[in-house]
A and B are shown apart, each in its own frame.
Chain A
C-alpha cells in the first residue's frame, strides 16, 4: 500500500542512486507553521532523496509554498526540525549557496534588463557572473537579455526566474508552481526545461497543480493536504497501486445491459457510465481481459464499437488520495 504519514521510505526510483546518495537532500520532522489559529503546515515529516525530481502536490492552501519557504529560510517554523543538504533548517546561510529557488513567482527589478537582474542575483550570492550567458541560453532568453524585465511576458519572467535559480549550478532546485500562468507552449517548454536541468545528481523539488505535467517529469512524489503528509514515495509505486480500467461500448446502446451482465458473470466488478461499461481489473492482465471480453461479446452477438484500457493517471489517483484523506 501507499506510504502514509512518513511510513515506508524504502523505494529509491533510481537503483544506482542509493550508492551515490550520502544523505537525503531534504529531511523534515514534525515541521509546523501556525499563523495565529490557522495551521499552514501540520507536523510534516518527509524525506527527499538526492537525485530525484520530486513533485510536491497538494490542493491550494495545502501548505506547499509555506513548506518550501521554510526550507529556504524565508519563513521561521513554529516547531519541528529538518535538514537541507545536511545542514539544519535554522542555518540557511550554510546551504542556500547550493540551492536554487523560484518561489511565489519571479520577483525582479523591472527597470533592469534580464542580464542586469541576473548580475544582481549573482553578485548577491557570490556566484560566478560568467554563467549568466549560459543560463540565459538554457532558458532561451539569450536574445532578450538586453530587454528590461518589465517588458517581459509572463512566460519570459518565469524563465528568468529559473535562470536565476540555476546561476549557482545548484545541487537542489526548489520550484514553486513554475508552470503557473503559462500557456500550453510555455508549459511544455518549462516541462522540458525541468527535465533538462534534472540529473547530474541534482535534486529538484517542484510544486504544481497541473498533475499531468508532474507525471511526465517526476520520479518521486510528495502529496500533502491540510499541511499534513498524505503520501511520499516513488511515482511508479503510487501509480502502480491503482488498478487499470477496461472500458467497452457496444455498437447498439440497447446491448449495454446484456454486456454488463456478461462481464459480471465473468466475475468482474462492473460499472455503467453513459454508453459504456467500465470493468475494474484488480490484478488481471489488461490485454488478456480485453481479449476475453471481446470474445464473450462476440459470442453473445454484441458488436463492440469501443474497447480500451485506461491506465490510472496521477490526477485520478491524487484525487482518490486527497478525497480519502479528507473523508
Chain B
C-alpha cells in the first residue's frame, strides 16, 4: 500500500502537475474575489443565498471564503476523480501496476491515498492563497478582517480545511468507485455527469427526500454548512455511509475481476 501511495506521488509530483496546482490556486483566488464581491450586509441579503458581510467578518470569515469558493468546484472534483480512475483502465496502466503490485486492495487503497494526499496539499495551498487574497480584497468590499488572524480564526480555518478535505475525499471515493465499476472513461464520465448533474437536481425539485438521500446533494449541503432540508452533521453521516459502501463495492470488484480479457 505504501509503495502504491509513493508511486502515485511520483506520478502527480512532477513539475507539470505543480503548474496545475498553481493554476488551481489562481482559480481559488478568483473564487475568493467572486465570493467577496457577492457578499452583502445581512439586512440586504436574500435568505439562504451567499455569505453576508457579517458572517465574513467573523474569525472564520477568511477560510469560509475558501470553503464557499471550493464548493463551486464540486462537479469538477468529481469528474476529475472519475477520469483519474477510469483512464488507468482505458490505457491499460492498471495492468502495468498490477504486474508490479499484485495485491489489489493495497494497490487501490494506496492509489486513492496518493491522490488524496496530493489533493490535500493542493487544498492547503489553495486555502492559504484564498485567505491571503480575501484579506487583501476584503477592505474594498467593506468586510472587516481584524478577527481573521486570531487563534479562533486558525481553529475555524482548520475546521474548514477538514470539511473541504472530507468533501473532496467523498467525491474521490465515489468517483473512483464509478471508474472501477465501469472501467471506461467515456462511460464513467457519462454516468457520473448524468447522475451528479441533471439527475439529482431534477429529482431534488420533484421529490423532497432527494436532498436527504442523494450523495451529490448531501455533499453540497455538507460543504455549505447545512441546508433547510438536511443538517451538516446528518449530511456528513449519510455521505460517510455512502463512502463505506462504495469502498466495499469498489474493493470487491477490483479484487475479483480479471485485469485483461
Residues of chain A at the chain B interface (Cβ within 8 Å) = 35, 65-66, 69, 72-76, 92-93, 96, 99, 101, 103-105, 107-112, 116, 119-121, 123-126, 164
Contacts of A101 in B (CB 8 A): 99
Q: How far is the CB of A273 from chain B (nearest CB, A)?
A: 42
Q: Are B95 and A104 in contact (CB under 8 A)?
A: yes
In angstroms, Cα B100 to Cα A108, docked, is 13
Q: Are B258 and A120 in contact (CB under 8 A)?
A: no
Q: Which of B14, B91, B99 contacts A74 (CB 8 A)?
A: B99
In angstroms, Cα B6 to Cα A121, docked, is 11
Q: How far is the CB of B173 from chain A (nearest CB, A)?
A: 22
In angstroms, Cα B96 to Cα A123, docked, is 13
The yes or no answer to B93 lying at the interface (CB within 8 A) is yes
The yes or no answer to B47 lying at the interface (CB within 8 A) is no
| A-B pairs with beta carbons under 8 Å apart, 26 shown | A65-B260, A66-B260, A69-B258, A74-B258, A75-B260, A92-B102, A93-B102, A96-B100, A99-B99, A101-B99, A104-B95, A104-B260, A105-B92, A107-B93, A107-B95, A107-B96, A110-B91, A111-B14, A111-B16, A116-B10, A116-B11, A119-B10, A120-B7, A123-B3, A124-B4, A124-B101
Contacts of A35 in B (CB 8 A): 261
In angstroms, Cα B10 to Cα A105, docked, is 23
Which of A105, A109, A124, A125 has the most chain B CB atoms inside 10 A of its CB?
Answer: A124
A-B pairs with lowest CB-CB distance, top 5: A107-B92, A125-B100, A74-B259, A124-B100, A92-B102
In angstroms, Cα B259 to Cα A103, docked, is 11
In angstroms, Cα B14 to Cα A35, docked, is 40
Q: How far is the CB of B111 from chain A (nearest CB, A)?
A: 10
Other A-B contacts than A104-B260, A116-B14, 15 sampled, CB-CB below 8 A, are A35-B261, A69-B260, A72-B99, A73-B98, A74-B258, A74-B260, A93-B102, A96-B102, A104-B92, A116-B10, A119-B10, A124-B3, A124-B100, A124-B107, A126-B3
The yes or no answer to B103 lying at the interface (CB within 8 A) is yes
What mask results when residues 77 to 112 of chain B are scored 1 for a CB within 8 Å of chain A, else 0?
000000000000001110111111111000100000
Contacts of A109 in B (CB 8 A): 11, 91, 93
In the complex with contacts A96-B100, A103-B95, A109-B93, A120-B260 CB distance below 8 A: no
For A107, the closest partner residue in chain B by CB is B92
Contacts of B91 in A (CB 8 A): 107-110
Contacts of A123 in B (CB 8 A): 3, 6-7, 10
Q: Are A74 and B4 in contact (CB under 8 A)?
A: no
In angstroms, Cα B7 to Cα A121, docked, is 7
In angstroms, Cα B16 to Cα A196, docked, is 36
Contacts of B100 in A (CB 8 A): 96, 121, 124-125
For B101, the closest partner residue in chain A by CB is A124
Contacts of A119 in B (CB 8 A): 10
Number of A-B residue pairs, CB cutoff 8 Å, is 77
In angstroms, Cα B259 to Cα A109, docked, is 17
In angstroms, Cα B101 to Cα A35, docked, is 25
Q: Are A108 and B258 in contact (CB under 8 A)?
A: no
Q: How far is the CB of A207 from chain B (nearest CB, A)?
A: 14
In angstroms, Cα B95 to Cα A8, docked, is 35
What mask results when residues 220 to 261 of chain B are scored 1 for a CB within 8 Å of chain A, else 0?
000000000000000000000000000000000000101111
Q: How far is the CB of B222 from chain A (nearest CB, A)?
A: 33
Contacts of B14 in A (CB 8 A): 111-112, 116
Q: How far is the CB of A298 from chain B (nearest CB, A)?
A: 61
In angstroms, Cα B4 to Cα A120, docked, is 9
Contacts of B97 in A (CB 8 A): 124
Q: How far is the CB of A227 from chain B (nearest CB, A)?
A: 14
In the complex with contacts A116-B14, A120-B10, A126-B3, A73-B102 CB distance below 8 A: yes
In angstroms, Cα B96 to Cα A93, docked, is 14
Contacts of A103 in B (CB 8 A): 95, 99, 260
In angstroms, Cα B96 to Cα A92, docked, is 14
In angstroms, Cα B9 to Cα A116, docked, is 11
Q: Are B102 and A112 in contact (CB under 8 A)?
A: no
In angstroms, Cα B92 to Cα A65, docked, is 14
For B8, the closest partner residue in chain A by CB is A120
Contacts of B4 in A (CB 8 A): 124
